[in-house]
Homo-oligomer: A and B are copies of this chain.
Amino acid sequence: MTRATSADGTVGKALEVLDQVAAFGRPVRFSELLAASPFPKATLYRFVQTLTNQGMLAFDAERQTYGPGLRLVRLAHAAWEQSSLAPVARPMIDALSAQLGETVHLAQLDHGHVLYVDKRNAAEPIEMFSQAGRIGPAYCTGVGKAMLAHLGTDDLQRTLAMQSFHRFTAKTLTTAEALCAELEAIRTRGHAYDDEEHEVGIICIAMPILGRTGRVLGALSVTTSTDRNSLGGLARLAPDLRRTAEAIAQEADIWRFPEQSRPTPTAGAA
């Protein structure tokens, strides 16, 4: 199907290699990569060389291993600032977190997965990339379901096809049918819950962030544990969450049109 695999020629293949290295999650030898790769030895070798050359991979000479390169960090900085909701939403997320004293997540959809782009943890002091850039499943997280619920039919179909439906807990929804019923309920209710579907003892309430035209921009959530709170307790936060989500959406709309088309600049000077 519409797999973005080798449809994109050499560049697509090279990026596939990059993903593989990142997916290992640890320094990886060329031979390990080769074993996991669809490419023949010489081809893979050239890709790895090129990517290392370019700083997209980092080669550890002592250990003879590869890892994702620091050039990615530089590029991601730009991506996070320009293409994510995080800079726009920052003040609202700050305020919400301060007000509620609970952990707040901001997430967007990326290739069928939940991509966390920001986080506020009321208690702990600081977290950095360890949170932003992290990915999670869409079908069993509050933010994921909140976003799926407001996707168009085509997008939804494509995204559902990317879900693994792995059972994390007894409460995980493990079929597209069950999930779709839940999404219907979420649409009606206006917000989503995660009732220990991803991790036992962890619950959350999540609100979609929708653009003017109803397009899904992202979602935000307040997470807590069953020790400290219940779904019923979280439900009371819905109005605050909704207000915050709407404020973010509005701000995002404003940000998207900074450059008004000047009407008829009659005489054009330098």
Residues in B whose Cβ lies below 8 Å from that of A170: none
Beta-carbon contact of A22 and B78 below 8 Å: yes
- The answer to whether A75 and B7 touch (CB under 8 A), given A83-B68, A129-B132, A130-B81, is no
How far, in angstroms, from A87 to B69 measured CA to CA in the complex? 15
Among B8, B63, B125, B134, which residue has its beta carbon within 8 angstroms of that of A54?
A: B8
Beta-carbon contact of B78 and A25 below 8 Å: yes
- The answer to whether A50 and B9 touch (CB under 8 A), given A74-B110, A115-B73, A117-B73, is yes
Residue of B with least CB distance to A118: B128
Beta-carbon contact of A73 and B82 below 8 Å: no
Residue of B with least CB distance to A65: B259
- Chosen A-B contacts, 20 in total, with CB atoms closer than 8 Å, are A9-B50, A11-B47, A25-B78, A26-B82, A67-B83, A68-B76, A70-B108, A71-B111, A73-B79, A73-B115, A73-B132, A74-B115, A74-B135, A76-B76, A76-B79, A86-B129, A94-B125, A120-B126, A126-B127, A128-B129
Task: List the 10 closest A-B pairs by CB distance, nearest first.
Answer: A77-B133, A76-B76, A68-B79, A80-B129, A22-B78, A72-B79, A67-B82, A67-B83, A72-B76, A11-B14
